Structure 1
């Protein structure tokens, strides 16, 4: 009898000690709820997660590799990052459950939802759209109207291609007078450099910089012609939000910790990506840092400064939806609460001094100065 009492007392003391210690295990014992990212209390096995990029391994994605090496790992996640083939392909991969998380252009995602795809924006990276048309300067093209009669190449599933009709309408360009050719993503820049095309659809955060590094170029930002949207950011499906909120939270928080590092120490963030993708050692480090700088410049805005990284202001959500309806002729577009959620965003913040540093580091990456 005494032995049974002592055993019970020891058990109670152990439980109180754990709960008082405030550990994750203590929280689980106190609440009776285990995080969704572990299969059982004390499990050490990492959960494997597939993440799809919207494009190639460029400097604007270094934050994700920092997350994979450190910030996701410390949350119990083993994340494999795979290259993408355009935002259109990424949202289809999410909706079809090929992957559970990806990065994609939010305008393309909203348009996809209007066509029946299951995609939800869970944390914006860019506060301003990076989508552009980039042309060789020696083509003589100085305004969007000059695109009429020019040759433009694009990738079939890329956001710039999917939103091109909207840009043409907004800029007063007769899209029927543009010679548009679809090519493999790897042929976009070379087609322009070899003068097989005058211009290519680009993202300012990636291949626009790659083109400009090889020849003088002019860029027409979609946002400057009315197509301003929240853009590249994290996406998942509605069933993941409902059934695995702890996993979604871990993905968003880890990614945003990585983005904070990219904003404040682009070189260190890049080192993470090169370590994971050794083939990038043959690429220009300077160019990869330009990618990061361009990304960082477009990632800064009042909404994230006030509310934390990933945050999507309601006005920006509405504007993104309106752009898709007006310029992409989207029908049956759900309300913004079905397209975006801030439930998981805003936990990772920068101090006033850190924001000042981030702005200073990316000041020369303003597209207006290119």
Structure 2
């Protein structure tokens, strides 16, 4: 396995990174899983939605345990810098597969990016208002008059009004302060804001680790506002030439998630030393533990990870279109191809 820390690489940089990995050097390089090159395993690249964090443990664990090799895949994991960049890089053929947030996937497809979702794995949205447990904010109603850090344009922020409406609040009841990802965390840590909007399985464990304080999550899904989050995508061009490989990739990812759910500590440990951006081990484990809660809806609770329900897709499109995130909402087939679902 080779890991590259840039989200979008030029050909020259990519060649240099591969050369370093072949020599066993370079930041973020890692050894292949036991068993060598896996015989006829085909090289496949996957770009994450962000720098590696606990949600991504199944990919590293699947490589470590030889699951991807078993399915004929020699996987290279690349860090990302946001789902939109991952979607665009995948659509441009810079990587074979992407791991991206469904709202960003759908919005970019509406803008003409030629990608398809092969299956969503985080089927309950991690979107949540995150506050310190000692803040006095226990329910969504307690947000009235408070200041919450947001990031304009991202899915949790765009759908925040729907969450407030479900809680009986109006958008003007809560002051929003627009900050980037790092700025939101810093503002919460310094008590310049009362909380932040983001992914409960990402920022929350990080803040808890840095502050030594417990976090409370006001989850959108608990208020009845749910939509699909992160899943596997590929370009239409790549899929037209690699249908069997895409099916193998979905099966390998699904099996890796199953294995990581059964062995969370081992899965989290598989990320050790793989990239300088990876959080501390305790945070990775907390992030992955929180991610496990997001893998199914009531319609898929007895299904393999990554198996999607058509009604959940319809609900996702309806919610995102209602929030104004989609430019020209189409039917499910515009965004998602079900033929690659794990059996």
TM-score, length of structure 1 as denominator length: 0.72
Alignment partner, residue 110 of structure 2: 114
Alignment partner, residue 102 of structure 1: 98
Whole-Å Cα distance in 2 between the matches of residues 122 and 96 of structure 1? Answer: 17
- State the SS of the aligned residue for 1:332: coil
Greater share of residues in helix: 1
Residue 123, structure 1, aligned to residue 153, structure 2 = no
5 Å-filtered alignment, 1:25-104, equals: 47-69=42-64, 70-104=66-100
Alignment partner, residue 318 of structure 1: 314
Alignment partner, residue 263 of structure 1: 261
- State the SS of the aligned residue for 1:343: helix
Contact 2:188 2:194 in 1 (8 A): yes
What residue ranges of structure 2 are gaps of 5+ in the alignment?
A: 1-37
- Report how far residue 68 of structure 1 moved: 3.3
Query: What is the aligned length?
Result: 303
5 Å-filtered alignment, 1:1-370, equals: 47-69=42-64, 70-155=66-151, 158-176=154-172, 178-213=174-209, 214=211, 215-277=213-275, 280=278, 283-301=279-297, 303-328=299-324, 330-347=326-343
- Report how far residue 261 of structure 1 moved: 1.0
What residue ranges of structure 1 are gaps of 5+ in the alignment?
A: 1-42, 348-370
Whole-Å Cα distance in 2 between the matches of residues 139 and 301 of structure 1? Answer: 30
Larger Cα Rg: Structure 1 or Structure 2?
1
CA deviation string 1:51-70 (max 9, x = no partner) = 22223322221101123342
- State the SS of the aligned residue for 2:272: helix
CA deviation string 1:314-368 (max 9, x = no partner) = 1111111111122336342111122223311223xxxxxxxxxxxxxxxxxxxxx
Whole-Å Cα distance in 2 between the matches of residues 238 and 148 of structure 1? Answer: 45
Q: 1:195 to 1:145 in 2, by over 3 A?
A: same
Contact 1:86 1:157 in 2 (8 A): no
Q: 1:311 to 1:276 in 2, by over 3 A?
A: same
Whole-Å Cα distance in 1 between the matches of residues 298 and 190 of structure 2? Answer: 41
Aligned-residue CA RMSD in angstroms? 2.8
Contact 1:87 1:158 in 2 (8 A): no
Whole-Å Cα distance in 2 between the matches of residues 99 and 165 of structure 1? Answer: 35
Q: 1:97 to 1:159 in 2, by over 3 A?
A: farther
Contact 1:126 1:299 in 2 (8 A): yes
- Report how far residue 47 of structure 1 moved: 4.0
- State the SS of the aligned residue for 2:196: strand
Q: 1:87 to 1:174 in 2, by over 3 A?
A: farther
TM-score, length of structure 2 as denominator length: 0.77
Contact 1:64 1:258 in 2 (8 A): yes
- Report how far residue 46 of structure 1 moved: 5.5
Whole-Å Cα distance in 2 between the matches of residues 270 and 307 of structure 1? Answer: 23
Q: 1:149 to 1:56 in 2, by over 3 A?
A: farther
Whole-Å Cα distance in 2 between the matches of residues 185 and 261 of structure 1? Answer: 30
